[in-house]
Structure formats: structure tokens, C-alpha cells
Structure 1
Amino acid sequence: MIVGTRAAALALLCGLVVLVETPAAAQCGVQSEVGEVVETCDYSSEGIEEEKSKDPTAKWSVRQICKDDRRNPEGLCFNPDDCTTEAGEPGTRYTLFRDGQNVGTACLSAGEADIVDDPPPIRALVIKAFERLGWPASDLVVQPPGGKTLVNLESNFYTTNSTATSISVNLVESNVVVSARPIAYRWNFGDGTSMVTETPGAPYPSLDVSHVYDQTDKVAVSVDTQYGDASFAVNGGPPEAIPSTIWVAGTTQDLEVVEAVPQLVLE
């Protein structure tokens, strides 16, 4: 049996058995019989400590990897997947989670497994993950079109982003679907003024969200979106409410405010 952070491979050359050393692909290698594929881990205990120092507010947890997935009520394997740590000690392979999300595997001895906490309740993980999920920015439509509008006349603004969005995320080996919808919009008119509404506006001739520029200028306009009325469901179960809301900034676009030039029309 070959053990260590540098896997050893046997090769046949000219009828002789030659021992060839190959570097491990990651920070730890599991024990393996000659001729078997050597699995590797993404983190050692030192690597986990380094990641924890980079993100001290995150909740780190591990779950033993089982050879046959038989576990006791506490989640420990009856037949754990053995490995050898960087220090050469017997260890167990674990799945490593940051705030409930799988970030890789680790080979840890019995004492090293204590450097991380037990997984927080799934609800706490979802509430923390809510702000990191990729809620879409709202598209902005300005009328009149073409990137120009007239001074001292109403310009119309609206967005088509008005329905709920659902995002799937895996937290502590659970499939979680988080849903939220736009509950407010902040319209940034580029001249130092803004307005917050609960409606997404509508195409002309509706003027639900409109603005009058009082001087010619070149401005950058955008609409920010507040997501709320959120909920999550675990493994297809019933939805549970999330009290959080989040603002998502919109992409700016250029708008030129011009003055209408009178033209003489001959009939």
C-alpha cells in the first residue's frame, strides 16, 4: 500500500519494475492499492485555516465522505473514506462547506476535524446566502428612444423586470430554491434627482414613471431594483418566508437632453 502526499506509481520498463514518483495533484492523497487511481483532496487543515483567515465571517463546516453512504444519526460514516494527511497521519476525507456551499474536499485527522463548526441551521444559511445570489439587474427603457430626449418635456421610463425570480443553490447537500420578486425601483435620472416607486412603469402613452429635464445636458440614467417578498424551499418542500431584502444596481446608459429646433414647413 502506498501512502503520502506524493503518490507512487509502478511502471514496467524492459521487464523490470521501476518505482516512479509523481507529485500529488492537490494537498493530500488518499490511500490506494498499487494500480488504483489515487484520489486527492483540495484542502489540508492548514489550507482550511488560511481560507478561514481570508473570510473570517463565514461559517465553515465539514461532512464525512462515506464509502457506502451509511451513516449514524449524527451523520458520521460507518465506513469512512480513509486518507493520509500532509503530516502523514491517518485521516478521513470530508466535504468542506463555506456558509453551507460545497467548496471542495479535505483530508483531516480526528483532531483536525475540530477546526470547523457544525453546519448552522439551513434557514440561517439561506438568509446569509440570499444577498450573494445573482439577482438580475433590471433593464431600463427610455422614451423617446434613440438615446435622446427633449428639454422641458416629459421623458418616460420603465422596465420589463416585474416578475419573481427563482435561483437554485446547494447548501449542506440540500437542494434549495430561493425566490424573490421586485418590490421597489429607484430611478436615477442623472441630473442629481431620483425617484422610488413600487411599479415598474409602462410604455408610452402611460407616464407612470416620467421626468422633465430643465436644461440641455448629457446624463447617465439607470434603475436599481429592490428584491423582497422572498421565500425558500428545501428539497421540494413547502416554502418558508425570508425577511431579507436587497438592492441590485442597474447598468447606466447615456441619455442626451437636447432642445427642439424649430423648422419652417411650407405647404
Structure 2
Amino acid sequence: MLALLLLAPGSSGADDGDDDEPVCYEVADLYSVKVVCDYSGDSLAEAQAAEPLADWQIYQLCKDGTSGQPEACANPRVCTIDGKTGTLYAVFRDGVRRGTACLTAGEAGALKPSIRSVVIATFQQLKWSPSDLTVQPPGGKTLVNLDTNFFTTNTDAKSIPVKLQGQSVVVTARPIAYRWNFGDDISITTTSPGSPYPDLDVAHTYEQTGEVAVSVDTQYGDASFTVNGGPPEPIPSTIWVAGASQDLEIVEALPQLVIR
């Protein structure tokens, strides 16, 4: 096979003498391109072992660019390093790119994202239920300059089963905060879901008549997950879920003459 060494601009064909720079070769039918590989399979495994609490991820590099996702691309870039032939990967630690690695299929399989990092990423994509909203007085109308009461019955923890990396995962979270949007440019956030009249735990007084759209957004947190029925593990993430809006008319109470 004919091998062509392509050097970066400004480089010479002579040995630069930089023995600390790990070099791999991207190979194809008619050429080999010198590439700086920050990691081999062994050195990346050592880096992960040195920082076991870090979130390490590898994304395969394609001939037309980075896939951007932790799955194999259809046209991976082949490379060799330390006498091993593999494919090129971008290496990320805690969401920051740390370099490039040349990994065999076995090495890449051993370094795939942990189930925990996949669950944490998936948590934000799950369909958490919006909260129902009850407004008192009922009927879509309330009185100006008097308390209007708001509450929701969405207080219980929710569990969502998903399949991740071929394993059965159950993600659980509960409402931990509520953002009440009163429609007059005023919103408040509480840990209370409110309560029915006459408690008035979450109440608002409108100072002008008119029509507004009210809603309640829900923050889910205190989350955890289980894998294949195992013990729960905590998830540090939270997520806000927007609630549907309701029309509310603020009216003025008019005196009426009543003949008895």
C-alpha cells in the first residue's frame, strides 16, 4: 500500500524531536495522515481511573465531521497508534473537549458513557407532567381588589420507565417548586402547591379590571433512578415544566338595587 505522509503547514519532513506528542496515523487505501492523538486506549483508561468522578464521554469522528452524538457514524475515520488500528474519537470530560483518541472497537466499548451520565442527560428529555391549575372563584371570573385563590393538586412523585443502553431504568422525580404566573406581569415562586379556599395559601389581588392569562409552571427535582430494579441513585438535575394557560376576567362588583 502506498503511504503518503501529510504534514501540517510549517512542518518539515524531519523529526521534530517532540517525543512527548503522541502521534497516530489516519489511514486509508492510498495515504496515511499524521494526526496528534492525545490518548490511546491505555492512556485514556488511565486518565479515567485517575479521575473516576469525572463524566467521561467519547464521540466518534466521521470523515464529514464530528457526529455530535455518542453513537457510531457510518463513515468513521480509521487510525493506528501503538501498533493498533482503530477509529478516531473526540474525548470529553465533564462536557469539555479534552482531545482526540485512537481506539479499537473493544477499547471504545469499554469507555462508553456510564449509565449514570446517560440517565442525567435523559432526565431533561423525559415528559414530566404539567400541573393542573384551579382558580377560585371558579367560572373564569374574579373581582378586582379582592383575593383570588390559586392551587394545584400536582404534589406526588412521578416515575417514568425508559430503556437505556439495553437496561430497564426508572426515573423518579417530584414537584419541588411552583411558579405562579398571574398574567399582570407579576409572578411568584413557592414551594407550596397552594390550597383550596378558605386557606388562601397562594393568593393574588388584581388592581385593574381586564382579561389576563394565568398559569403555573412546575419544577421537578429530588430525583433518582434505578437500573434493573436495583437501589435508587440520586440525580442532581431539576427541570421546569410550563403549565397550560387559562383565561381569567377581572371584573368590578356593581351594586344592585334589590326590592324585598
Give the shorter-chain TM-score range.
0.5 to 0.7
Identity of aligned residues (%): 61
Structure 1: 5+ residue runs without aligned partners? Answer: 1-47, 63-84, 87-110
Could you tell me how far apart the structure 1 residues matched to 2:165 and 2:62 are?
20
Could you tell me how far apart the structure 2 residues matched to 1:134 and 1:202 are?
26
Superposition pairs for residues 1-267 of structure 1, below 5 Å? 56=68, 58-60=69-71, 118-267=111-260
Deviation digits for residues 186-230 of structure 1 (CA, Å, limit 9, x no counterpart): 000000000100010011111000000000011010000000000
The Cα shift of 1:59 comes to 2.0
The Cα shift of 1:119 comes to 2.8
The Cα shift of 1:262 comes to 1.0
The Cα shift of 1:266 comes to 1.8
Structure 2 CA distance for partners of 1:61 and 1:202, relative to 1, 3 Å: farther
Computed over aligned residues only, the root mean square deviation of the Cα atoms, in angstroms, reads 2.7
Could you tell me how far apart the structure 2 residues matched to 1:246 and 1:263 are?
49
Q: TM-score, normalised by structure 2?
A: 0.61
The Cα shift of 1:113 comes to 6.5
SS at 1:160 equivalent = coil
Amino acid at match of 1:60: E
Q: TM-score, normalised by structure 1?
A: 0.59
Deviation digits for residues 151-199 of structure 1 (CA, Å, limit 9, x no counterpart): 0000000001000000001000100000000000000000000010001
Count of aligned pairs between the two proteins: 171
| Misfit runs of 4+, over 6 Å | 111-114
Partner of 2:16: none
Structure 2 CA distance for partners of 1:162 and 1:61, relative to 1, 3 Å: farther
- Alignment check: 8 A CA contact 1:60 1:119 kept: no
Structure 2: 5+ residue runs without aligned partners? Answer: 1-60, 76-102
Could you tell me how far apart the structure 1 residues matched to 2:123 and 2:187 are?
26
SS at 2:196 equivalent = coil
Could you tell me how far apart the structure 2 residues matched to 1:61 and 1:176 are?
23
- Alignment check: 8 A CA contact 1:119 1:172 kept: no
Amino acid at match of 2:137: P
Could you tell me how far apart the structure 2 residues matched to 1:261 and 1:157 are?
24
